[in-house]
Structure 1
Amino acid sequence: SEIFLGTSASTLKKQTEKNAKKILEYLKKDKSFVNIAKQFSESPQGKSGGDLGWVQEGHLISEIDENLKEMKEGEIRLTQSLSGYHILYLRKKRIVGKSGREDFYLKQILIKNYSLTQETANLDKIQKELAKKYTSCESIKSRSEGIYEFNDLGTLSFSDMPEKLKKVVVNLRPQELSKPIKTDYGVMFLMVCNKIQPKVKMPSEEEIRNKIRSKRLSLSAQKFIRDLRNKAEIDLRISL
């Protein structure tokens, strides 16, 4: 997300910088970015709270692009470009093709009603024995056998998994049996059979045209505001 304050006339540059810094300090006090963007941002996105949506690297001006690479999720930062001052808020990062976008085809070996108070060393021993016997997903067939239950969990979306499972499967190689995972209903071991990359939908010609049109409108709006400032003396007051 972004709050943009444009500059053009040299007489207004220092005041604009001062205003941008005031807004930044205000936002760091946990104030609503959306409300502040609606009130002060001069870009067309300001009306929607400054939301820029998901943006690919290299699609923004270099000053913003370089800052976004360095920023952490939840960070707010002020940067300057030739057109003005930008207050950036990085809501979330994602890497296309990496975990978080993948689906996982999983199989499970479950020991039901296993005492969770038993020593971890004993579970590690069981894991090693199972890993020697079951070296691939093909060897794990859905059935019950003694204390074990073997289950085909099918394909699961990484984003829908509990955090506990995410930490396990993200580091597993295909056909590798996981370390023991303690749950409320027993102890389980997971095997990743396959990691499935989602198909990336390429934008249509119409979507590309709309994006270019939106960018041109944004630049026109910024130019219009700068022209107004050049023709009239504007008293900028921010009551924060």
Structure 2
Amino acid sequence: MYGPNAMHRPGRAAVGVLLTLALVLASTAAPAAQTLDRIVAVVNEDVILESELEAELNRVRQRMQSQNRRPPPRDALVNQVMDQLIMERLQLAQAERMGITVDDNTLNAAVRRIAQQNNMNLQQFRRAVTRQGMDFARFREDLRRDIRLQRLRQQQVQQRVDISSRDIEEFLESRAGRADDTEFRVSHILVSVPGTAEPEAIDEARSRAEELMQRLREGDEKFARVAAEVSDAEDALEGGDLGWRQAGELPSMFQDQVLNLSPGELAGPIRSSSGFHIVKLEDTRAADPEIVEQTRARHILIRPNEVVSDADARVRLEDLRNRIQQGESFAELARAHSDDQGTASEGGDLGWTSPGELDPDFQEAMDQLAPGEVSQPFRTRFGWHIVQVEERREHDSTQERRRARAAQQLRQRRSEETVQSWLQQLRDDAYVDVRLDQ
């Protein structure tokens, strides 16, 4: 991630439903008994209490210890955790303004998925959480918060990210596109620069980044420890680790530099809209062979407008779904009712599609269906849908596989950069008063 204003990988305030049990338990441990509280930060109209900060510090320490990583000095850790809490509050306030909620049915499904991922049924999972000394109701509410923030970020991405055929062609012809058989393990440090920074502040940040670069080149310190201590990125406490990525998934601001590095080498400082980056190529490996699972599906789209409300669209689709369940033809109903002019005449047929070709929300809903199953109504940026999966197949056409992978990589990278820019603006526009020294 790229700073207090940056992209957010799965973690405390991201995709909670993808966490393993160990990480979930580490990130939701109950805080110890609190003494007299005080305000340690004001964030617009909200506050952060000292008890909240200490509880999160404890959770972060536990997580780092479980990963055999030594936490940075307390002052550095406090600053990092405070930044994370501030950005979480800003995002939750934005979700509230946008009316983004997570109902109990969605939350229950997410809990069941986490239990299944840990090879437990719901009762076993609940007992496992309770054995760790945690309140299961609090665990659920933490998960609800994470899903809510995930949805907020998805909405920001959906409004701004679109991958065209031309984008894919240009990428496949680029150096990164030709390196799609290699994966890169990259770590980074960010010295952030606010979007409204004066030239003197920019020069100061550049000098700080240059000093860090010199410190890393001349010293024996581990990159991960320095990142955890000084980086302004959201992934600082993970040692700046971006994980294994294909070339097209590398952030565009330092993609070319990474492709020129050998494992163990550094590059930087590299200027971006967020500040100055230092990157290290940890390692490379051959990408695993990939067989694309394609899906053939039909859908019916109802677009809300001045006459048709969201509620009306959903009710209409529920009625159509009931008729399909009672034996009516999905294709005939799509021809008669779908607002998607491109597919209505074909009975809603989307043809064979590969991952990354469809809207992410549509793809997610479709991926949860078994062949023959019809979804419940769901919303994307295009309107309300129901979708029926007809069949799936594994497809190994080299060119199509490269195009599908390119679309996924481009969407991943642009999504992260879009969230980065949005979070930067969210932080720049906020009133934040940190009172740690008071």
Q: TM > 0.5 between the two?
A: no
Q: TM-score, normalised by structure 2?
A: 0.24
Given the two structures, how large is their TM-score scaled by the length of structure 1? 0.41
| Structure with more helix by fraction | 2
